[in-house]
Structure 1
């Protein structure tokens, strides 16, 4: 059947090369390892050092990726080669989006549903325009993202990588760097152009370098062998506010999308503002070359369409609005009481405990901002405002920002969910003056606040915010820039980084090729021996979807009856488990009950697979409930117990008119209640009602027992938010 690992001599030969390039140490260390006497000979390797391994990768593995070229500007042809590389990748052959679609959630087709990019209005309109000139044309939306970054902790070594993906790929591919749906297009020049002494001219030259892209139609072949006439169109640019200003060609402090006056940015909410007219901008720039004001040799950057700039969750919301809101609330309420509330919150699944408060962090990551938003509203409910001011406006402002943040991150949107963004924005602007009245803030000239006006329109036109989040660029930086820079000699860095990336991509592609060849050989062997066992092995049945998933083995194999009450709090477990006992007879008959077992098998964790409350088919979501008693680690330290709260089938009352959360109290039943796991819905998080001053005797371990009243945390995650609202 041949060697499936070729050009490597054996499976061991290939796996060691794969480890060396993807997980191993540096090139020098790997060479020194193979230089140890008889290591390469005993392993029967086809290479004896890093240089020989690199020679095999460079000359014997196919060039499935593009060669990087160092040029002064990025040429359009290179962009088209990247398009062909992504569009023709066999891994994406069956999932490419090639035609526009419209989806509705009701039979009357009034509630439109948006998820992937081909369900957007822009694709539909663009396809109709192309069909008029070129029947059978196919839209190829190009999505560009860039983010300037530091390569070194000390020093000024930085990189400016540009990434590219296609709107033809489903967003679950683009959102996972491991699927390699985004590729490195280029490193933009980081030169300061010191030979240009005029600062304005220097800025224009740097901007013109960024805008050297072209667009045109091209024949393109997919993996199925069909050749189509594709039209690569630069559709969306993903970047923070300074880079959006650079792309559009406007001034800092202005909106990249609409011509709102400079002094009105962020003051009010108006989602109906028209976008900038690109034709008028270009005509104005052309007029500067004519008449008495024209300057000889003066050039201007060519702005791209204002529709390119897309809302970004990371920099506009988490690192922008949420960062401001956290500072405002801490100044309004004081850090001491907010810190006490953070210290007393009960733990739960995927919830970070801020035991040192919200201000005790030197630098806050996007994940930490996200975890702060989960508990932010619960930290301020009931707190008094200085000078006797009403806290209602502060609570409603916080609630409004969270009401905007969570729907903006939905992976599937409808016309109704998009209207929630507009409603939340109006509530915020109606109450935001409370910060001015308290002397905390003086003006609302915040471009990131104004950018919230364009979220609904951008999502309807292009795609969800989860497909254009700068967090994905941050993940790509790890491999495409930081790791690539780490393996260089820190001198001639760019050629070495590009060569390292090419070799790494060849190894990843060859890994898929090896898996395909092994699968083909297995299938061929099964066909030659047509037994029922072989056929069953090559055609596995699909795994049924379950609501609950338990581990194969129990966490504790033998827990005695007394330990159930002492460690787990199940005081009347044996009596409650008996089907013939009523609640009144349980305690009275406890001594007369006899069971034929002395120990119980115990699980400390149960996993739930969640369904979308809106009824959409979404990637599987997980929720975990932990039930773990106090224990000691190997060092003898005491680890507190962890008993998560969960949703059961009970009826909620009406939510609060101020903060919209449901109030929950302890059960009036004096005895424990045993609930079958099948009746549990998912894990949930409870926010204690702290009042004006939190009880200092409460801790994260005892607050669930000591606090009498709680609020159901609707902002624990997006799934819970959908469930509660």
Structure 2
């Protein structure tokens, strides 16, 4: 929306048509078009959360079919010609493994046949619970609040006492009654089993680790997968068939796993090897494994869980877990005295035990990988399912163990460990390893190819499984934590101590910490500390270092997107090349050096993984669906919290029981929802964030929407002139009148153009609010199942007893311009609303910032803005809330400015003259503020 009235009227400009298909409205200016679209078509950008596949030719309605709806009126002769129909995206499904429904015996059903009932239980049968209250109470106490058994008994005792006067009983007798009822649940049951190994060496003089038996606790993965497939909660967010997704321009689109190359290629291989698999449903199995520590104080209590998932559920469902990422094994962790830490025999034993354990635990899947097995799917249909091993999610140390390679080599390719980013390399495969094993000695394979001949990967025992093909990219550990924290941040510190004396370097490091505005400290790294690191170092290090880190951050944000197109993949490659070019500055400055006769300065496995991302996206879809952050967050619910609920003594059996009960509660809820006994979680009401200013939401998908908070603030005057005095802004009534005049004049035919006098609005009641809720489509960020996220934009005179908080926001000025070129940043001084002629106007009083230059800053890649003035005063206008998109984050352009000790970040927007528009605050901002 324009910033001043003269600019807004746009006299002499040609009339502009509304771009919305079928809308005949014509307007004076681009601002009028934007305002009209935001108002008249406010909810027209809503799209269905789940788009069904296109109709097959046999399902498409014939032209002669009767139509029972009302036909649209014949348009008048002088109406504009209808817009030509634009090309539409399309999905081309695999022609052979096309997931045809069948009966429980595997006999294919006729097209259109309904699924058989999932259960014959009545809609009032809550078994094993007596009623809804029992189930909801058990779910609430055990899953939601995780109440201790002692407290449960106290609560139930009070409940029973309150019921005695009615000669009735409470819902449960004690905590044991609750636990036994949960255990009696049959849906979702997958009991834990124990596999014991034989001692490696029984000789009396053998080390203790060799004479010990090891226990591997596991659940039959076939049972876990069957339960996962039979989960009605996944219906509508579950792909049964691999597909190639083409956009409206015929270009390839990658997102969920089934849209990528791996699934299609393996389906071709399965059908070519056995044509009787035609009509089967391809079911790729995901794996994840990572050690985790539960005792922070001592660090000596650790577990090695393995997780299982499927490639059919959409990525957003998998990231939200939704019972699609399940712990299925707790691997043994051999311990020894320190003297055996570097013992090659002990190291070999640990690796062999690891692979032998996985091979044994997964053996029940082998038959389903060769011939289809009948399983019920989320939509209620039975299908002939063929299993296949899909991506394995692991950090680099685990990848080394999985792939049977030598440390510092790449598990995906044969690049030399001394020059990982060189051009001489090919893809690792089991067949290539076999050829090398037949041709060379073990020592040569270790030194020249990085192959450990003592390790036989567990995938050797399963059809079509190749661990090198299965390993997925690890964004969290290898790129963000490894390359950013361990490499780039460390190198910046090393440069400072090389270029300056220790005292000067210490002072600069302190300056960087102060620029973090008390949010982050480099000594205590968190996964999102890079949000503010780039502008914090600008002016304190050479621009080439800033450019290297900016290129790295661009790569990180590109690969975290939820959707990829061919041009996006080109941008990923370009970001890698740019980073490789700019990181040479660390070599020039002496921070990194080539080792004579050894490794190059940047032969680092973590950074090398970046070159494999394009291929990984083409193979597996968006990296967010196969990222180790999924297993990292699952550690909390599957390991850490169950451990805290245990007695801490021989806790594993208690943890397994907790996991099993949680799974049964989730399965029971899904069953009750499907039978209509509980409301669906898909239509849960939108919850505004209270303590946190942002978070996921399950609201209906829209591109963006901003609404005022629910409750007005009652300490403000209700009328414009009195409110102007209260907020110390005397021109407020005039700005309000200009706003309403522009609103009424934005439509060519709706007003005679007369200005509204401020006095006319002096008796119009106003309502003031301290915040607004922005809801927008941000699938690349933590979001709800429909990819929606909400955040609170605040404008309040007091925030947590630290003075006023006036947030900034993106204001849309021209929707036709890409990125930030069509937007500006405004600072919210006041949220308010009023009603005029029966129309509600939610508004914001805003200060404007203007762009510095016509393109982003060369060093940081971020736009720079500065306060906009009219004469000596800040430019202030009233905006309709529909012109706001979401909150904006500004970071000062520090340059060489010294930040005083004790300076508070709350003064930043007033103390500095220019600001970076932080496109790294989250992934949605990165996609719009370019």
TM tier, shorter chain?
0.7 to 0.9
Which residue matches 1:326?
489
Change (3 A) 1:581 1:128: closer
Q: Does 1:245 align with 2:400?
A: yes
Q: Does 1:53 align with 2:258?
A: no
Which residue matches 2:352?
205
Q: Does 1:306 align with 2:468?
A: yes
How big is the alpha-carbon RMSD for the aligned residues of Structure 1 and Structure 2?
3.9
Once the two structures are TM-superposed, the CA of residue 325 in structure 1 deviates from its matched residue by: 1.6
Change (3 A) 1:94 1:357: closer
Alignment partners' CA distance in 2, 1:299 and 1:706: 64
Given the alignment, which residue of 756, 768, 773 partners 1:602? 768
Which residue matches 2:8?
none
Which residue matches 2:245?
103
CA contact under 8 A between 2:253 and 2:566: conserved in structure 1?
Answer: yes
Q: Does 1:220 align with 2:374?
A: yes
Q: Does 1:364 align with 2:525?
A: yes
Which residue matches 1:712?
917
Which residue matches 2:734?
575
Alignment partners' CA distance in 2, 1:569 and 1:89: 59
Secondary structure, aligned partner of 2:384: strand
CA contact under 8 A between 1:64 and 1:506: conserved in structure 2?
Answer: yes
- In the TM superposition, what whole-angstrom CA distance separates every residue of 1:29-68 from its partner, at most 9, and x where no partner exists? 4335545795496362354223333333333x21422111
Q: Does 1:692 align with 2:896?
A: yes
Once the two structures are TM-superposed, the CA of residue 193 in structure 1 deviates from its matched residue by: 7.4
Q: Does 1:180 align with 2:339?
A: no
Change (3 A) 1:192 1:301: farther
Gaps of 5+ in 2: 1-121, 198-215, 446-452, 460-466, 497-504, 594-600, 681-698, 743-756, 815-820, 822-850
Which residue matches 2:333?
190
Which residue matches 2:10?
none
Alignment partners' CA distance in 1, 2:912 and 2:514: 14
CA contact under 8 A between 1:686 and 1:713: conserved in structure 2?
Answer: yes
Give matches, 1:652-663, under 5 Å: 653-663=854-864
Q: Does 1:641 align with 2:805?
A: yes
Which residue matches 2:603?
445
Which residue matches 1:552?
710
Alignment partners' CA distance in 2, 1:286 and 1:149: 38
Which residue matches 1:531?
none
Change (3 A) 1:85 1:40: farther
Change (3 A) 1:446 1:39: farther
Change (3 A) 1:666 1:337: farther
TM-score by structure 1 length? 0.81
Alignment partners' CA distance in 1, 2:650 and 2:520: 45
Change (3 A) 1:478 1:200: closer
Q: Does 1:136 align with 2:285?
A: no
Alignment partners' CA distance in 2, 1:660 and 1:317: 20
- In the TM superposition, what whole-angstrom CA distance separates every residue of 1:449-485 from its partner, at most 9, and x where no partner exists? 1111101111111121111222221221122112222
Alignment partners' CA distance in 1, 2:410 and 2:701: 50
Secondary structure, aligned partner of 2:590: coil
Which residue matches 1:535?
none
Change (3 A) 1:708 1:100: same
Secondary structure, aligned partner of 2:648: coil
- In the TM superposition, what whole-angstrom CA distance separates every residue of 1:110-137 from its partner, at most 9, and x where no partner exists? x211011111011111112222223223
Alignment partners' CA distance in 1, 2:663 and 2:679: 25
Gaps of 5+ in 1: 345-352, 386-390, 523-540, 584-590
Which residue matches 1:167?
311
Secondary structure, aligned partner of 2:195: coil
Given the alignment, which residue of 10, 17, 20 partners 2:141? 20
Change (3 A) 1:343 1:300: closer
CA contact under 8 A between 1:98 and 1:138: conserved in structure 2?
Answer: yes
Given the alignment, which residue of 881, 899, 910 partners 1:677? 881
Q: Does 1:379 align with 2:527?
A: no
Once the two structures are TM-superposed, the CA of residue 424 in structure 1 deviates from its matched residue by: 1.4
Alignment partners' CA distance in 1, 2:702 and 2:351: 59
Q: Does 1:414 align with 2:565?
A: yes
Once the two structures are TM-superposed, the CA of residue 255 in structure 1 deviates from its matched residue by: 0.4
Alignment partners' CA distance in 1, 2:471 and 2:414: 14
- In the TM superposition, what whole-angstrom CA distance separates every residue of 1:10-47 from its partner, at most 9, and x where no partner exists? 44433333333222422244335545795496362354
Change (3 A) 1:466 1:656: same
CA contact under 8 A between 2:404 and 2:457: conserved in structure 1?
Answer: yes
Once the two structures are TM-superposed, the CA of residue 260 in structure 1 deviates from its matched residue by: 0.8
CA contact under 8 A between 1:259 and 1:276: conserved in structure 2?
Answer: yes
CA contact under 8 A between 2:294 and 2:639: conserved in structure 1?
Answer: yes
Once the two structures are TM-superposed, the CA of residue 401 in structure 1 deviates from its matched residue by: 0.5
Alignment partners' CA distance in 2, 1:611 and 1:674: 26
CA contact under 8 A between 1:137 and 1:228: conserved in structure 2?
Answer: yes
Alignment partners' CA distance in 1, 2:383 and 2:809: 55
Which structure is higher in strand share? 2
Once the two structures are TM-superposed, the CA of residue 139 in structure 1 deviates from its matched residue by: 1.9
Alignment partners' CA distance in 2, 1:153 and 1:341: 29
Given the alignment, which residue of 619, 624, 628 partners 2:787? 619
Given the alignment, which residue of 222, 225, 232 partners 1:80? 222
Q: Does 1:275 align with 2:430?
A: no
Alignment partners' CA distance in 2, 1:457 and 1:543: 30
Once the two structures are TM-superposed, the CA of residue 244 in structure 1 deviates from its matched residue by: 0.7
Alignment partners' CA distance in 2, 1:593 and 1:676: 21
Moved more, 69-78 or 432-441: 69-78
Secondary structure, aligned partner of 2:349: helix
Given the alignment, which residue of 246, 259, 272 partners 1:119? 259
- In the TM superposition, what whole-angstrom CA distance separates every residue of 1:511-568 from its partner, at most 9, and x where no partner exists? 333444454999xxxxxxxxxxxxxxxxxx9898872222232244634768856775
Once the two structures are TM-superposed, the CA of residue 613 in structure 1 deviates from its matched residue by: 12
Given the alignment, which residue of 240, 249, 260 partners 2:415? 260
Change (3 A) 1:473 1:7: same
Once the two structures are TM-superposed, the CA of residue 287 in structure 1 deviates from its matched residue by: 7.9
Change (3 A) 1:131 1:150: same
CA contact under 8 A between 2:239 and 2:314: conserved in structure 1?
Answer: yes
Alignment partners' CA distance in 2, 1:504 and 1:123: 31
Secondary structure, aligned partner of 2:925: helix
Alignment partners' CA distance in 1, 2:454 and 2:141: 49
Moved more, 406-415 or 394-403: 394-403
Given the alignment, which residue of 172, 194, 201 partners 1:70? 194
Which residue matches 1:229?
384
Alignment partners' CA distance in 1, 2:572 and 2:703: 33
Moved more, 690-699 or 420-429: 690-699
- In the TM superposition, what whole-angstrom CA distance separates every residue of 1:492-520 from its partner, at most 9, and x where no partner exists? 43332222222232223223334444549
- In the TM superposition, what whole-angstrom CA distance separates every residue of 1:601-636 from its partner, at most 9, and x where no partner exists? 21222223335799xx972243542211136x6xxx
Which residue matches 1:587?
none
CA contact under 8 A between 1:343 and 1:699: conserved in structure 2?
Answer: no
Change (3 A) 1:147 1:204: closer
Moved more, 659-668 or 452-461: 659-668
Once the two structures are TM-superposed, the CA of residue 664 in structure 1 deviates from its matched residue by: 2.0
Change (3 A) 1:227 1:577: closer
Secondary structure, aligned partner of 1:675: strand
Secondary structure, aligned partner of 2:772: strand
Which structure is higher in helix share? 1
Given the alignment, which residue of 395, 398, 403 partners 2:554? 403
